[in-house]
């Protein structure tokens, strides 16, 4: 698979990574452990070298899974994980105190069965801790060899600038897809200016852009999409226009909607590395096929024109979660 570079310090990763959260967290029952390990290793066999996890996915359970799966491949892969929630539990609130960051790093090293964290993100900006203090703490961890690169997630332009001035940021991870394009306004130009890579999470709209979620679909209590306004029955019905558009584009190219959605992201900038997640091998292979699809300027202009006619309905998160983003 084609390689891409995150940040000016040259963190090289596969053009598509694997978001591992859904293997054990947020989308219903966890995948059987051996099946999950098999999927992660199958991704590497197919060219994926970039794997994303976090303390909060479990908490700790997802990191342990990644550690076991990638231990035999450790020197051939890049592992990203995150700190920033009290006790690793998002519902307990934010915690990016320096002592907590160090504690999370040491625990992650053990769970990941490694001697270094390739990319260490602040999961969400903590307004109680100056971002400069966070960046300086990660800088100390880099100097100690425990961390190689620093990242932020869902951070505002102001936070990015302030943190980057203390410790260069390799990557920002935030949501970005055909149905959530807010980063194009202020964030992407800033990342270009500072030489920071961009790692879109939910590049397939939490499954919606695959075309497999029909209007009227409901989600169980263990699936966090049941709490998201954008996945309410009314919003799903209204937003089918987006899926219809992507499906039409895919049919014209002999591709799937998921492949077009990912190829569109890859075409935006060479510094963009999407991390779609899946629990199924055939979906993994479908997603990776996007790396072989090239959308030219005419394709992109056609997509932009078509999307301009569609209004996406529903917020990304419930009101209680909105306060955690873009700080």
Tally of domains in the chain? 1
Residue 173 lies in a domain: yes
Is 317 one of the annotated active-site residues of the chain?
no
- Residue 106 structural domain: 3-322
Contacts (Cβ under 8 Å, ≥6 apart) of 104 = 55, 83, 88
What's the average model confidence in pLDDT over 35-48?
A: 98
Look up the pTM and report it.
0.94
What's the average model confidence in pLDDT over 180-199?
A: 97
The yes-or-no verdict on residue 111 having pLDDT over 80 is yes
Measure the CA–CA gap between 63 and 145, rounded to whole angstroms: 19
Q: Which of 126, 4, 108 is nearest to 53 (CA)?
A: 108
Contacts (Cβ under 8 Å, ≥6 apart) of 244 = none
Residue 23 lies in a domain: yes
DSSP structural state of residue 97: -
Bin 170: left if φ > 0, else alpha if -120 < ψ < 50, else beta.
Answer: alpha
Quote the longest CA-to-CA distance of the chain.
54
What's the average model confidence in pLDDT over 92-113?
A: 98
Residue 243 lies in a domain: yes
Return the CATH number at 218: 3.20.20.100
Tens digit of pLDDT for each residue in 51-99? 999 999 999 999 999 999 999 999 999 999 999 999 999 999 999 999 9
Residue 212 lies in a domain: yes
Per-residue confidence (pLDDT) for residue 323, from 0 to 100: 58
Measure the CA–CA gap between 137 and 65, rounded to whole angstroms: 27
Residue 30 lies in a domain: yes
Per-residue confidence (pLDDT) for residue 110, from 0 to 100: 98
What's the average model confidence in pLDDT over 308-326?
A: 77
Average pLDDT, the chain: 94
The yes-or-no verdict on residue 327 having pLDDT over 80 is no
Per-residue confidence (pLDDT) for residue 265, from 0 to 100: 98
Count of residues in the chain: 327
Using a CB cutoff of 8 Å and minimum separation of 24, what contacts does 5-8 make? 5/197, 5/271, 6/119, 6/149, 6/170, 6/171, 6/196, 6/197, 6/199, 6/271, 6/273, 7/149, 7/168, 7/169, 7/170, 7/171, 7/195, 7/196, 7/197, 8/168, 8/195
Bin 207: left if φ > 0, else alpha if -120 < ψ < 50, else beta.
Answer: left
Contact in structure between 109 and 44 (CB atoms under 8 Å)? no
Residue 178 lies in a domain: yes
* 131: its two tokens: 């971002």
Residue 327 lies in a domain: no
Per-residue confidence (pLDDT) for residue 250, from 0 to 100: 92
Residue 299 lies in a domain: yes
Q: Which of 57, 121, 176, 317 is catalytic?
A: 57
Question: Mapping DSSP to helix (H, G, I), strand (E, B) and coil, where does residue 204 land?
Answer: coil
Tens digit of pLDDT for each residue in 255-312? 999 999 999 999 999 999 999 999 999 999 999 999 999 999 999 998 898 888 888 8
Strand partners, 152: 122, 172
Per-residue confidence (pLDDT) for residue 324, from 0 to 100: 62
Per-residue confidence (pLDDT) for residue 27, from 0 to 100: 82
Helix ranges, the chain (H):
33-45, 61-70, 98-111, 131-143, 157-166, 187-194, 233-253, 257-268, 281-288, 297-307, 319-322
Measure the CA–CA gap between 270 and 291, rounded to whole angstroms: 12
């Amino acid at each position: 698979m084609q390689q891409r570079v995150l940040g000016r310090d040259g963190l090289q990763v596969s053009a598509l990574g694997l978001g591992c959260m859904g293997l054990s967290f947020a989308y219903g029952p966890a995948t059987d452990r051996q099946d999950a390990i098999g999927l992660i290793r199958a991704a590497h066999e197919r060219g994926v070298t970039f794997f994303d996890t976090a303390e909060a996915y479990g908490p700790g359970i997802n990191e342990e899974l990644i550690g076991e799966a990638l231990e035999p491949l450790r020197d051939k892969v890049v592992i990203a994980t995150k700190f920033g929630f009290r006790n690793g539990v998002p519902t307990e609130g934010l915690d990016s105190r320096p002592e907590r960051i160090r504690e999370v790093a040491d625990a992650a090293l053990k769970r990941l069965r490694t001697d270094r964290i390739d990319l260490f993100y602040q999961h969400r900006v903590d307004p109680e801790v100056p971002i400069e203090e966070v960046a300086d703490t990660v800088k100390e961890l880099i100097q100690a060899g425990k961390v190689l690169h620093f990242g932020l997630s869902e951070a505002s332009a102001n936070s990015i600038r302030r943190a980057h001035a203390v410790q260069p940021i390799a990557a920002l991870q935030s949501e970005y897809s055909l149905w959530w394009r807010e980063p194009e306004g202020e964030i992407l130009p800033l990342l270009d200016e500072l030489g920071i890579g961009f790692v879109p999470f939910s590049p397939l709209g939490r499954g919606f852009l695959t075309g497999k979620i029909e209007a009227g679909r409901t989600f169980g209590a263990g699936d966090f999409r049941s709490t998201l306004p954008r996945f309410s029955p009314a919003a799903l019905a209204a937003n089918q226009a987006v899926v219809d558009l992507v499906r039409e584009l895919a049919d014209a190219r002999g591709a799937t909607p998921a492949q077009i959605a990912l190829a569109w992201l890859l075409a935006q900038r060479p510094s963009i590395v999407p991390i779609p997640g899946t629990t199924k091998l055939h979906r993994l292979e479908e997603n990776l096929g996007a790396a072989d699809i090239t959308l030219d300027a005419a394709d992109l202009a056609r997509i932009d024109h078509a999307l301009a006619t569609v209004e996406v309905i529903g917020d990304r998160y419930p009101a209680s979660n909105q306060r955690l983003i873009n700080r």
